[in-house]
Amino acid sequence: MTLAELLPSIGCSTEPVLEEGLWPDGTRLDGADLVIGGVPATQLAARFGTPCQVLDERTVRSRARAFLRALPDAEVVFADKSLPCPEVYRWMAAEGLSLDVSSAGEVALARAAGFPAWRIVLHGNVKTSEDLKAALEHGVSRIVVDSFDEIAQLGSLARHGQEVMIRVTPGVDAHTHAAIATGVEDQKFGFSLASGAALEEILRVVEQPSLRLAGLHCHIGSQVRHVASYEETVRRMVGLIASCGVRIEQLDRGGGFCAPYLPGESSFDLFGFSQRVLGVLHYECAVHRVPVPRLLVEPGRSIVANAGVTLYRVCAVKRGVTRTFVAVDGGMSDNPRPALYGAKYAVRLVGRGGKLRSATVVGRHCEAGDVLAEDVLLPSDVHSGDLLAVPVTGAYHHALASNYNQVCRPPVVAVRDGVARPIARRETEEDLLRRHV
């Protein structure tokens, strides 16, 4: 029996307490209101409307700094696909991080933010010639190549000395959802280490006069909990470095560091990671007698996920045969993650308390699978007009949002020290109509 099932059966009313580790740093309860970045959620909803994606700037910056502190000699590259937003790029630039982009569109956003090109890395298993041209024109520092076709195309487009890294598939299981596991064999990313393809490509890049091999890259997946998977990856990558006979200056270990989504889940142990992974790196390099490459990491989720909270307004409550459905004014258009990865979320009613019972929070879209959170505890008299807050929505929410059912995408509102300001505005029907001919 889950907690949600148990509590109503004993008629329990819980004291309002904030789930530990899920909410942005400094989030607090003020009566039944929720104060994020010094701004009450009820005020944010009244001023910016709902759904509204709130982002706490101090949390984002402090998570970025935590990576720099844990890995002082590494290059920390923010994976912008987790939150593509020029203002966030500016925060990253100011904190001293680099940026990973994966399309001409993301290059355009980075350019708009004035992000220094010499700290931008381009990724992607497919880069169209537009992507490559945009990156070259902007002067991005490194391009991570992911296919032979790309190496050939880049070789002819690039000016002399364009730095590249080769994406390697290390054959390591990250024990995460299959849709976001990218380190195992036989999927679309990278050159296989086991088959010898990675080694072949290293030699091929070295032969291209317009390219310069800067390093090797690997990314084993996202929402990765096991440091052991990272250790094994580094072990294998150093083996490859030793066998290729070419000096490898940089080893990009990719991103993937997990974030807690539900009460009781712990944050990623960054210091444990740095000690164990750096230990393996130095040990393996010594064993193989190769110089230690500079480490790069590419965190996305672990920097922004817990900085985000989405506010929704309840529009309808319906009693099903066994469940109570609480329908809100957003859904899979602002959060497709439950449908895509079976992701689970906590939900809190803001503005009042009451006896709790289990409910299923659903969206407004025309699909039965448009469920935001199942079996969460909400006051038994939850009704239309209530305000709900969902934590851990800073990563891959704004990024994955769509216009399904022609619903306008919500704004991203940054909060800091009691001040709220939109850093991406709410989409309007004019925006929707603009594309149609």
Binding site listing for substrate = 301, 337, 341, 367, 396
Region of 66-74, 76-84, 285-293, 317-325 interacting with ligand LLP (CB under 6 A): 76-84
Indicate whether 233 belongs to the interface with ligand LLP (CB under 6 A). Answer: no
Does residue number 274 form part of the binding site for ligand LLP (CB under 6 A)? no
Q: How far is the CB of 426 from ligand LLP (least distance, A)?
A: 22
Mark 81-100 with x for binding to ligand LLP (rule: CB under 6 A) and - for no binding: xx-----------------x
Of the candidates 63, 142, 219, 426, which one interacts with ligand LLP according to CB under 6 A?
219
- Are the beta carbons of 299 and 255 closer than 8 angstroms? yes
By CB under 6 A, name the one of 68, 157, 180, 197 that touches ligand LLP: 180
Q: Which is nearer to ligand LLP, 299 or 410 (CB)?
A: 299
Give me the DSSP letters along 384-428: TT-EEEEES-SSSSTTT---GGGPPPPPEEEEETTEEEEEEPPP-
Taking Cα atoms as reference points, which of 208, 230, 261, 259 lies closest to residue 391?
261
Residues in the chain: 437
Q: Which of 55, 79, 135, 244 binds ligand LLP (CB under 6 A)?
A: 79
Per the residue annotation, which of 218, 258, 366, 408 is the catalytic one? 366
Q: Which of 109, 396, 413, 426 binds ligand LLP (CB under 6 A)?
A: 396
Annotated binding site for pyridoxal 5'-phosphate: 256, 298-301, 396
**Which residues, numbered 323-382, are part of the site for ligand LLP (CB under 6 A)?**
337, 341
Stretch of 13-21, 24-32, 51-59, 292-300 contacting ligand LLP, by CB under 6 A:
292-300
Distance between CA atoms of residues 361 and 207, nearest Å? 56
Cβ proximity to ligand LLP, 71 vs 377, nearer residue: 71
CB of 344 to ligand LLP, least distance (A): 12
Nearer to ligand LLP, 48 or 257 (CB): 257
Burial 147-174 (b: 16+ CB within 10 A, else e): beebbebbbeebeeebbbbbbbbbbbeb
Among 24, 84, 255, 293, binds ligand LLP (CB under 6 A): 255
Choose which of 298, 329, 334, 386 interacts with ligand LLP (CB under 6 A).
298
Q: How far is the CB of 123 from ligand LLP (least distance, A)?
A: 5
- The correct pick among 61, 63, 119, 123 for binding ligand LLP (CB under 6 A) is 123
Paired tokens of 181: 């596991």
> Which residue carries 């190549």 as its tokens?
145
Long-range CB contact pairs, 28-36, < 8 A, 24+: 32/350, 32/351, 32/352, 32/353, 33/350, 33/351, 34/309, 34/348, 34/350, 34/389, 36/309, 36/415
* Cβ pair 229, 220 in contact under 8 A: yes
Q: Give 387 or 401: the residue with its C-beta nearer to ligand LLP.
A: 401
366 is a catalytic site residue: yes
| Cα–Cα distance for residue pair 111/115, rounded to 1 Å | 6
Residues 6+ apart with CB under 8 A from 341: 177, 179, 180
CA 208 to chain centre: 34
Is 34 in contact with 350 (CB distance < 8 Å)?
A: yes
Q: Is 291 left (phi over 0), alpha (psi -120 to 50) or beta?
A: beta
Of the candidate spans 149-157, 297-305, 352-360, 416-424, the one that interacts with ligand LLP by CB under 6 A turns out to be 297-305
With contacts defined by CB under 6 A, name the span among 83-91, 255-263, 382-390, 426-434 that binds ligand LLP: 255-263
Question: Tell me, what DSSP letter sits at residue 257?
Answer: B
Tell me the H-state helices in 71-128.
Answer: 86-95, 104-112
Least Å distance between CB 13 and ligand LLP?
A: 34
CB 129 within 8 A of CB 104: no
Give the interface with ligand LLP as residue ranges (CB under 6 A): 79, 81-82, 100, 123, 180, 219, 222-223, 254-257, 298-302, 337, 341, 396, 400
Active site residues: 366
